[in-house]
Structure 1
Amino acid sequence: MPRHPRTAQHCTKEHPVTLTSREIDSQPAVWREALDRHADRARDLLTLPGARVLVLGCGTSAFVAESFAALREGAGFGMTDAAYASEPWPWRDYDAVVVLSRSGTTTEAIEAIDGLPEGVRVIAVTGVADSPVAERADDVLLLDFADEESVVQTRFPTTFLVLARSAVGEDVSGLPAEAEAALARPLGLDTASLEHFVYLGSGWTYGLAQEAALKIREAAQAWAESYPLLDYRHGPLAVAGENSLVWIIGRSEPSLVEDIERVGATVRTSRHDPLIELANAQRLAVELAGHRGLDPDNPRHLTRSIVLG
């Protein structure tokens, strides 16, 4: 839990700055530090050329696992599967398992590691060095500088994906500066008029779409969905209307945009790199929480880590 918890009744009409918004704004600096100090370590632990890799996570980490799996396999480093640590998965003689866990204390992640066959290399990506997940791993990519106090994850997952993209060969050196400029500008959305939020992605950005929708549900207790880009008109489009925002992260499709606009929904296509789009989606969740008088750092029914007795 956050060290300085606050409850919803402490929110005022002025919508004071929250831990979440400060952590969102800090992302460019954290990304810069990650690239300057940890890119080589990430490359060594995440590429593993030719290895068969399984990536596990829960919640946000599961969505990030999906994005990373698509990035690694798409870059030609080898077969990469992603799965929920909390769900059974078929074992395919993996050479290594990457476990994503910000806190390093999530019960399902620990149990997943404990259930792996002998001899499988375990690589932990975590924000806490002395956590149970880290202690069970053969190697650790420690992102303690990207850890955060809020229950809601923002900069930890994006920092991992910046490093992952760098590791697989993408040039993301200009991303921190681009993010600083983008995060300094208004979102340009009439938040008060929106009630329904949909995020669409394709390939590795589908994981980002899922994460963006989760932020709306967690922080603002609002109706949010996520779908693969072109699958949206295969049913889900039926509930879109004038109070809907459909935000496309990554590549778009003009005919789909026309179909969505035809039902009266607001469509937002990507203006920046997909990770910056996700950071702006995080900003929207915080802004929406403020309008609803909610504390985005402490969502109801949630804790920073799921630890089962």
Structure 2
Amino acid sequence: MDFGYKTYEEIIRVNNLIGMANNLTPPSFSKSKKYIFIGCGSSYNAGLILSEILKKQGIFAEAASSGEVLLENTADEIARKFDVAFLLSRTGTTTETLKVAEMLKGKIESIGITCEKDSPLSALCDMNYELDFAHEESVVMTSSFSAILRLFLNGIERYPISPDEYLESYDSLLSEELLKEKSHFVFLGCQERYYVAKESALKVEEMSLDHTEFYETLEYRHGPIALLSPHAHVVIFSKYREPHKLETDLANDIVSRGGSVHILNAMTDRPEFEVQFLTLYGQLLGYKRAILKGLNPDKPKGLSKSVILDN
């Protein structure tokens, strides 16, 4: 396995990024305010995950894609409904998010989240978190995703959790046999882990160009399982320390139909805080499959680091 690519270096440096994110003063949240996360791609997925976790804390939070805001022209509605808008863009140059920031400017408190200094997004927002230490050379967003989640989760509680055990576990699970035999990957989860599944599917799709899907865990039985074949591998993101009986039943069903499955159980008693590291599985899988297929994970075919559109 060739690990001489920027993408791999940027995945495994996650512990260093977490340490630097811990040095920042995180956003604070109030139950008297309403929050919305806005972004595209992985940034949107981060917002979806965070909004689910904040809801569990009794805080009003939602997420929207920048594209949806533009298509539905909902900027004024957002300004009326919410108190604070978090605008996420790794590069700070994503056209759709910049347009939304322009539309919201002066109407709602806006906070930009980027991994670059002095980006166009920062110029449009009232306040900014510029995680330039999480800058990535490669096209696909990897460990910076964990750093952004850690920043916000610290605003809820500074829960001490490290990525090392997750990296080690996932690396051992992704055997050469699995990588060679499987080409169809399905990710399952509920609540915030459903959006972890969404982000994981995206990572594999971006890096290795393999066929991926994501669903709520038990919804997989209701139609999608018909596509299961010996080439399919299913990943269940469980919030339980031990597999739930229904997850085990589903896993047995998958194996009986010729597929393979990993149930990724919670490693702590605070499973909501684990979301910052669960996507490492998909990142490693996408990277290793790309190398196996002779693809360049640093510069996947048809993708760019930031989607910049003509006005």
Q: How do 1:266-305 residues align onto structure 2 when only pairs under 5 Å count?
A: 266-271=260-265, 272=267, 273-305=274-306
Measured in 2, the distance between the counterparts of 1:257 and 1:166 equals 34
Q: State the partner residue of 1:70.
A: 52
Measured in 2, the distance between the counterparts of 1:222 and 1:177 equals 27
TM-score normalised by L of structure 1: 0.87
If asked which structure has higher relative contact order (CA below 8 Å, sep 6+), I would say: 1
Measured in 2, the distance between the counterparts of 1:125 and 1:193 equals 39
Aligned residues between the structures: 289
Structure 1 residue 176 displacement after superposition: 3.8
Q: State the partner residue of 1:42.
A: 26
TM-score normalised by L of structure 2: 0.87
Provide closer, same or farther for how the CA distance between residues 182 and 29 of structure 1 changes in structure 2, counting only shifts above 3 A: farther
Q: Of 193, 212, 224, which aligns to 1:236? A: 224
Cα shift readout 1:135-183 (whole Å, capped 9, x = no counterpart)? 1111112211112110000011111112222322262x13244346446
Q: State the partner residue of 2:270.
A: none
Q: State the partner residue of 1:27.
A: 14
RMSD: 2.0
Cα shift readout 1:98-137 (whole Å, capped 9, x = no counterpart)? 1110000010001011112633000111011211111111
1:97 aligns to 2:85 (yes or no): yes
Asked if the contact 2:145/2:276 (under 8 Å) is kept, the reply is no
Tell me the secondary structure at the aligned position of residue 232 of structure 1.
helix
1:255 aligns to 2:249 (yes or no): yes
Q: How do 1:199-218 residues align onto structure 2 when only pairs under 5 Å count?
A: 199-218=187-206
Name structure 1 gaps, 5 residues minimum.
1-13
Measured in 1, the distance between the counterparts of 2:62 and 2:45 equals 12
Structure 1 residue 241 displacement after superposition: 1.6
Measured in 1, the distance between the counterparts of 2:145 and 2:134 equals 9
Asked if the contact 1:25/1:183 (under 8 Å) is kept, the reply is no
Name structure 2 gaps, 5 residues minimum.
268-273
Tell me the secondary structure at the aligned position of residue 221 of structure 2.
coil
Measured in 1, the distance between the counterparts of 2:105 and 2:134 equals 31
Structure 1 residue 276 displacement after superposition: 3.3
Measured in 1, the distance between the counterparts of 2:275 and 2:8 equals 19
Give 2:67's aligned amino acid.
S
Percent identity of equivalent pairs = 29
Give 2:27's aligned amino acid.
R
Measured in 1, the distance between the counterparts of 2:30 and 2:168 equals 34
